[in-house]
């Protein structure tokens, strides 16, 4: 599909389906590269439309019908195949279920069984399931496309599974209207227009990954990703001409900054650095702002359940702990019954967006989380007089110690100020008198290439976790030394009572720390 250069600009309807959004981009930018996997392949909008049509036709001929759930199991090298398969499934009238090929077979099996998938489309690695399964290369190679199955904006488009950090993963349902709300309707209004490319390394099957897929559909620049993240490779792409936007998660930001891969590079072409998926510690935001002097550093706060509603926060030294004000929706702080609280009071965080999502096959969790378009975020926070949101903690991560309620986020932010700490996670551990006390799990910042450096057993690193050869532990990170450093930053009851040094923090695919695993380590 192409559009004559002198043709009037097509004006899409306000409520659109995902195939309609792709068709519009084909009409206005047919030969623009929409997506590129560095060193692997690239895809123009016209090629995206044609290949997705072939996949849709092939699925229909194999019996996939309207409303059928189709699992999409892809890895980082297969972003182009994933994008084609995703839009192909939707053009067939079916429902996409994005999954990562790095998931364990039991995790894949649970998601596919829970959503009642009828088939699977996969990338280079076949999916270990008992369902009909086809590689996307086979499907897109068939030429007989046929007409798209008609879908409406309110029809179900995808089921995206949560990370499961607090329990069994939940399938979050999103309609076409939810996914396309706020998408541009004029080619002069495309976002990220300051860039030729926007760069990310987010995995498929996560909410952050889905955001990048829809950025590829709606943004002015080409989406650029890479088949495998390394700091050196990512840093080279950041410094390459035309990279004006970089999207990170906090763990990637810390690894980039600590690796030295950015040192000596001209980063003046980067105008936007965005962080998402987890809270960005203020100390890390400060380092990002220094490393990218020409860039605006923005923290995005949302969830799989609340998207596309979010808050955005341009890094402001005067509001280092704030996570921003709402964009594309409403924000409120409420009591346990969901009633709004006055400015300044601490309560549960709720976000609202048009075309809300819901949980698949979990009515009780849907009632607890979704209410009249509002989504309970599972976080505790407050609003200031200017409407900025400050997070206190995840609801389940608040540490109750004696008469005090302690924010793990506040303690982690203070720990990140320590020059010898690369990463920090704070959890509650049991105490016979106080109920719980603060425990800190730390990753030391790289200080030497001498891997023979011996540590006293009481302060040794966690040898169950792998360590790159260039790292060794900072022997100054003792419990007394850390408590002394924090003494001027935190109250006595917030100071860690126990300390564990590890070589890396356990994280899920989206970069979130698995705190339940860390808390269990203190039982030993």
Residue-by-residue DSSP string for 333-380: EE-TTS-B--TT--EEEEEE-SS--EETT-HHHHHHHEETTEEEEEEE
Is 450 a residue whose pLDDT tops 60? no
pLDDT number for residue 9:
57
| Tens digits of residue pLDDT in 374-386 | 999 999 999 999 9
Let me know if 130 is exposed, middle or buried by CB neighbors in 10 A (0-12, 13-18, 19+). Answer: exposed
| Closest C-alpha to 326, from 274, 280, 387 | 387
- Quote the tokens at residue 52: 């997705």
Q: What is the DSSP letter of 326?
A: E
| Tens digits of residue pLDDT in 502-522 | 999 998 877 788 888 888 888
Ranges 298-307, 469-478, 494-503: which has the least confidence = 469-478
pLDDT number for residue 310:
94
Burial 283-293 (b: 16+ CB within 10 A, else e): bbbbbbbebbe
Ranges 36-40, 424-428, 442-446, 468-472: which has the least confidence = 468-472
In this prediction, residue 449 has a pLDDT band, given cuts at 50, 70 and 90, of very low
Bridge partners, residue 122, by sequence: 73, 135
In this prediction, residue 269 has a pLDDT band, given cuts at 50, 70 and 90, of very high
Q: Residue 274 region, left (φ>0) first, then alpha (ψ -120 to 50), else beta?
A: beta
pLDDT number for residue 10:
65
Mean residue pLDDT of the chain comes to 88
| Tens digits of residue pLDDT in 138-150 | 999 997 778 899 9
Chain-centroid distance of CA 372 in Å reads 25
Is 469 a residue whose pLDDT tops 50? no
pLDDT number for residue 178:
96
Is 13 a residue whose pLDDT tops 80? no
Region 220-234: mean pLDDT is: 95
Task: State the Cα–Cα distance between residues 269 and 292, nearest whole angstrom.
Answer: 9
In this prediction, residue 221 has a pLDDT band, given cuts at 50, 70 and 90, of very high
All residues at 6 or more sequence positions from 263 whose CB lies less than 8 Å from its CB, including other chains? none
In this prediction, residue 394 has a pLDDT band, given cuts at 50, 70 and 90, of confident
pLDDT number for residue 165:
58
pLDDT number for residue 21:
97
User: How many other C-beta atoms lie within 10 A of the C-beta of residue 233?
Assistant: 16
Region 223-250: mean pLDDT is: 95
- Quote the tokens at residue 454: 């011996």
- For the residues of 128-178, what is the DSSP string, one character each? -SSS-EEEHHHHHT-----PPPP--TTSEEEEEE---TTSS--EEEEEHHH
- Quote the tokens at residue 87: 């839009």
Q: What is the CA radius of gyration of the chain?
A: 24
Structure-model confidence comparison of residues 446 and 237, the more confident one: 237
Q: How many helices (H) and strands (E) does the chain have?
A: 14, 26
Q: Which residue has the tokens 């924010």?
A: 407
| Tens digits of residue pLDDT in 340-383 | 999 999 999 999 988 999 999 999 999 999 999 999 999 999 99
Task: State the Cα–Cα distance between residues 69 and 119, nearest whole angstrom.
Answer: 7
| Closest C-alpha to 287, from 392, 417, 470 | 417
Domains of the chain in start order, with CATH, are 18-180 (3.40.50.12780), 188-392 (3.40.50.12780), 398-521 (3.30.300.30)
| Tens digits of residue pLDDT in 36-83 | 999 999 999 999 999 999 999 999 999 999 999 999 999 999 999 999
pLDDT number for residue 243:
97
In this prediction, residue 167 has a pLDDT band, given cuts at 50, 70 and 90, of low
Q: What is the pTM of this model?
A: 0.84
Q: Identify the three-state secondary structure at position 433.
A: coil
Q: Identify the three-state secondary structure at position 400.
A: strand
Helix (H) or strand (E) holding 85: helix 79-91
Region 111-119: mean pLDDT is: 97
pLDDT number for residue 11:
64
Task: State the Cα–Cα distance between residues 246 and 263, nearest whole angstrom.
Answer: 17
pLDDT number for residue 3:
36
- Quote the tokens at residue 232: 């050196």
| Closest C-alpha to 279, from 255, 249, 245 | 249
Question: HSE of 278 in the Cβ direction (CA atoms, 13 Å)?
Answer: 25
Cis ω on the peptide bond leading into residue 393 (within 30° of 0)? no
Measured CA to CA in angstroms, residue 411 lies from 19, 250, 418 at distances of 46, 16, 12
In this prediction, residue 448 has a pLDDT band, given cuts at 50, 70 and 90, of very low
Q: Identify the three-state secondary structure at position 228.
A: coil
pLDDT number for residue 475:
53
Is 230 a residue whose pLDDT tops 80? yes
Region 486-492: mean pLDDT is: 88
Is 455 a residue whose pLDDT tops 80? no
Task: State the Cα–Cα distance between residues 95 and 380, nearest whole angstrom.
Answer: 33
pLDDT number for residue 507:
87
Task: State the Cα–Cα distance between residues 273 and 199, nearest whole angstrom.
Answer: 10
pLDDT number for residue 451:
32
pLDDT number for residue 515:
86
- Quote the tokens at residue 195: 């860039």
- Quote the tokens at residue 97: 């279920």
């Amino acid at each position: 599909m192409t559009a004559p250069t002198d043709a009037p600009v097509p004006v899409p309807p306000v409520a659109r389906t995902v195939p309609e959004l792709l068709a519009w981009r084909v009409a206005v930018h047919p030969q623009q590269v929409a997506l590129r996997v560095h060193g692997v392949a690239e895809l123009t909008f016209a090629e995206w439309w044609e290949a997705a049509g072939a996949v849709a036709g092939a699925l229909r001929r194999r019996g996939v019908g309207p409303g059928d759930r189709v699992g999409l199991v892809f890895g980082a090298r297969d972003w182009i195949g994933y994008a084609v398969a995703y839009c192909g499934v939707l053009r067939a009238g079916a429902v996409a279920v994005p999954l990562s090929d790095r998931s364990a077979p039991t995790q894949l099996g649970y998601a596919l069984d829970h959503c009642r998938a009828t088939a699977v489309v996969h990338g280079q690695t076949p999916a270990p399931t008992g369902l009909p399964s086809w590689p996307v290369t086979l499907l897109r190679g068939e030429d007989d496309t046929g007409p798209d199955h008609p879908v409406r904006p309110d029809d179900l488009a995808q089921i995206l599974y949560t990370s499961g950090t607090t329990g069994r993963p939940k399938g979050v349902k999103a309609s076409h209207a939810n996914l396309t709300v706020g998408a541009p309707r004029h080619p002069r209004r495309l976002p990220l227009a300051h860039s030729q490319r926007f760069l990310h390394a987010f995995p498929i099957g996560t909410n952050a990954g889905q955001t990048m897929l829809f950025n590829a559909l709606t943004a002015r620049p080409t989406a650029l990703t890479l088949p495998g993240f390394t700091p050196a490779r990512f840093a080279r792409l950041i410094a390459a001409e035309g990279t004006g936007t970089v999207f990170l998660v906090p763990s990637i930001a810390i690894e980039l900054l600590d690796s030295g891969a950015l040192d000596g590079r001209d980063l003046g072409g980067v105008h936007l650095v965005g962080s998402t998926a987890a809270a960005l510690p203020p100390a890390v935001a400060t380092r990002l702002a220094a490393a990218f002097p020409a860039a605006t550093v923005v923290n995005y706060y949302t969830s799989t359940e609340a998207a596309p509603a979010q808050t955005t926060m341009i890094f402001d030294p005067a509001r280092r702990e704030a996570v921003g004000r709402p964009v594309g929706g409403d924000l409120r702080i409420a009591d346990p019954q969901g009633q709004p609280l006055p400015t300044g009071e601490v309560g549960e965080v709720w976000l609202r967006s048009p075309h809300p999502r819901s949980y698949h096959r979990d009515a009780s969790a849907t009632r607890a989380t979704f209410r009249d378009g509002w989504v309970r975020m599972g976080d505790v926070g407050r609003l200031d007089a200017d409407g900025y949101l400050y997070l206190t903690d995840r609801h389940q991560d608040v540490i109750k110690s004696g008469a005090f309620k302690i924010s793990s986020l506040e303690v982690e932010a203070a720990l990140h100020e320590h020059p010898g700490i690369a990463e920090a996670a704070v959890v509650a551990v049991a105490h016979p008198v106080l109920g719980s006390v603060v425990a800190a799990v730390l990753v030391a910042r790289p200080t030497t290439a001498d891997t023979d450096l011996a540590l006293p057993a009481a302060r040794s690193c966690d040898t169950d976790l792998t360590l790159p050869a260039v790292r060794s532990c900072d022997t100054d990170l003792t419990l007394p030394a850390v408590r002394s450093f924090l003494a001027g930053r935190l109250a006595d009851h917030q100071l860690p009572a126990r300390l564990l040094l590890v070589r890396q923090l356990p994280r899920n695919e989206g970069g979130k720390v698995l705190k339940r695993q860390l808390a269990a380590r203190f039982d030993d």
